[in-house]
Structure 1
Amino acid sequence: MGVRKAIHRAVSVLTSPATPEDYLQVINPLSSARQLRGVVTAVRREGTRSATISIRPGRGWAPHLAGQWARIGVEINGVRQWRSYSLSAPEGHDPEITVTAIGRVSSHLVQHTKVGDILFLAPPQGEFVLPTGPRPLLMITAGSGITPVMSMLRTLVPKRRDADVVLVHSARTEGEALFLDELRAMQRDYPGLHVVTRFTATQGRLDFSDAAQVDAVCPDWRSRKAYVCGPIELLDDTEKFWANAGLPHGLQVERFAPAQLVPSDTDGGRITFARSDKEAVADGSTPILEVGEEAGVIMPSGCRMGICRTCLTPLVSGQVRDLRTGEIHADEGELIQTCITAAVGPVHLEI
Structure 2
Amino acid sequence: MPILSLSLARHLVPALQPLRALCRRGWLREADVDLLLRLLHPALRVQRVFARVAARRWVAEDMLALTLRCNGNERGWRAGQHVQVYLEQEGVRHGRSYSLTAVSADGRVELAIKRQPGGRLSTVLLDHLEVGQLLELAPAFGELQWPNDGRPVLLAAAGSGITPLLGLLREALAQGFAAPITLLHQVRRPGQRAFVEELQGLAERHRNLHLRWVISGEPGGRITRDQLDELPGEHLVTCGPRGFVEQLQGWWKRGGTLQVESFSPPEPLTVDERREVRLRFARSGQQVPGNNQGSLLEQAEASGLRPAHGCRQGICASCTCTLLSGAVRDLRSGALFAEPNQPIRLCVSVPHGDVEIDL
TM over 0.5, yes or no?
A: yes
Rate the CA distance shift 1:273–1:181 in 2: closer, same or farther, 3 A. farther
What secondary structure sits across from 2:86 in the alignment? strand
Q: Letter of the 1:80 partner, please give it.
A: R
How far the C-alpha of 1:339 sits from its partner, in A, is: 1.2
Mapped to 2, the partners of 1:55 and 1:196 lie a distance apart of 30
CA contact (8 A) 1:63 1:94 kept: no
How far the C-alpha of 1:61 sits from its partner, in A, is: 0.7
How far the C-alpha of 1:70 sits from its partner, in A, is: 2.1
1:82 to 95, 118, 121: 95
Rate the CA distance shift 1:33–1:296 in 2: closer, same or farther, 3 A. farther
TM-score where L is the length of structure 1: 0.77
Match of 1:234 in 2: 244
Q: Say if 2:259 is the partner of 1:257.
A: no
Instruction: Provide Cα deviations, 1:105-143, integer angstroms capped at 9, x if missing partner.
Output: 333333332222222222222221113343322111111
How far the C-alpha of 1:18 sits from its partner, in A, is: 7.8
Rate the CA distance shift 1:97–1:305 in 2: closer, same or farther, 3 A. same
2:221 to 199, 204, 215: 204
Rate the CA distance shift 1:322–1:137 in 2: closer, same or farther, 3 A. closer
Rate the CA distance shift 1:228–1:327 in 2: closer, same or farther, 3 A. closer
Instruction: Provide Cα deviations, 1:236-282, integer angstroms capped at 9, x if missing partner.
Output: 22222223x5x3x43221234312137996677675351xx575968
Q: Say if 2:125 is the partner of 1:117.
A: no
Rate the CA distance shift 1:226–1:336 in 2: closer, same or farther, 3 A. closer
Rate the CA distance shift 1:56–1:193 in 2: closer, same or farther, 3 A. same
Match of 1:12 in 2: none
Rate the CA distance shift 1:295–1:327 in 2: closer, same or farther, 3 A. same
Mapped to 1, the partners of 2:129 and 2:343 lie a distance apart of 35
What secondary structure sits across from 2:35 in the alignment? helix
1:58 to 67, 71, 85: 71
How far the C-alpha of 1:151 sits from its partner, in A, is: 0.8
2:35 to 22, 25, 34: 22
Match of 1:225 in 2: 235
TM-score where L is the length of structure 2: 0.75
Match of 2:5 in 1: none
Rate the CA distance shift 1:127–1:272 in 2: closer, same or farther, 3 A. closer
CA contact (8 A) 1:280 1:292 kept: no
What secondary structure sits across from 1:239 in the alignment? helix
Mapped to 2, the partners of 1:341 and 1:90 lie a distance apart of 33
How far the C-alpha of 1:315 sits from its partner, in A, is: 2.9
Q: 5+ unaligned residues in a row in structure 2: which ranges?
A: 1-14
How far the C-alpha of 1:320 sits from its partner, in A, is: 6.3
Mapped to 1, the partners of 2:177 and 2:30 lie a distance apart of 58
Q: Say if 2:195 is the partner of 1:179.
A: yes
Instruction: Provide Cα deviations, 1:144-191, integer angstroms capped at 9, x if missing partner.
Output: 111011112222224427353111111111111111222122222322
What secondary structure sits across from 1:186 in the alignment? helix
Rate the CA distance shift 1:180–1:125 in 2: closer, same or farther, 3 A. same
How far the C-alpha of 1:199 sits from its partner, in A, is: 1.3
Match of 2:109 in 1: 95
Q: 5+ unaligned residues in a row in structure 1: which ranges?
A: 10-14
Rate the CA distance shift 1:251–1:315 in 2: closer, same or farther, 3 A. closer
Rate the CA distance shift 1:286–1:82 in 2: closer, same or farther, 3 A. farther
Rate the CA distance shift 1:36–1:282 in 2: closer, same or farther, 3 A. farther
Q: Say if 2:349 is the partner of 1:336.
A: no
What secondary structure sits across from 2:58 in the alignment? strand
What secondary structure sits across from 1:87 in the alignment? strand
Q: Letter of the 1:106 partner, please give it.
A: S
Match of 1:272 in 2: 281
- What value does the CA root-mean-square deviation take over the aligned residues? 3.7
What secondary structure sits across from 1:140 in the alignment? strand
Percentage identity across paired residues of the two chains: 29
Rate the CA distance shift 1:250–1:30 in 2: closer, same or farther, 3 A. same
Which stretch shows the higher mean deviation, 323-332 or 169-178? Answer: 323-332
What secondary structure sits across from 1:147 in the alignment? helix
How far the C-alpha of 1:66 sits from its partner, in A, is: 3.0
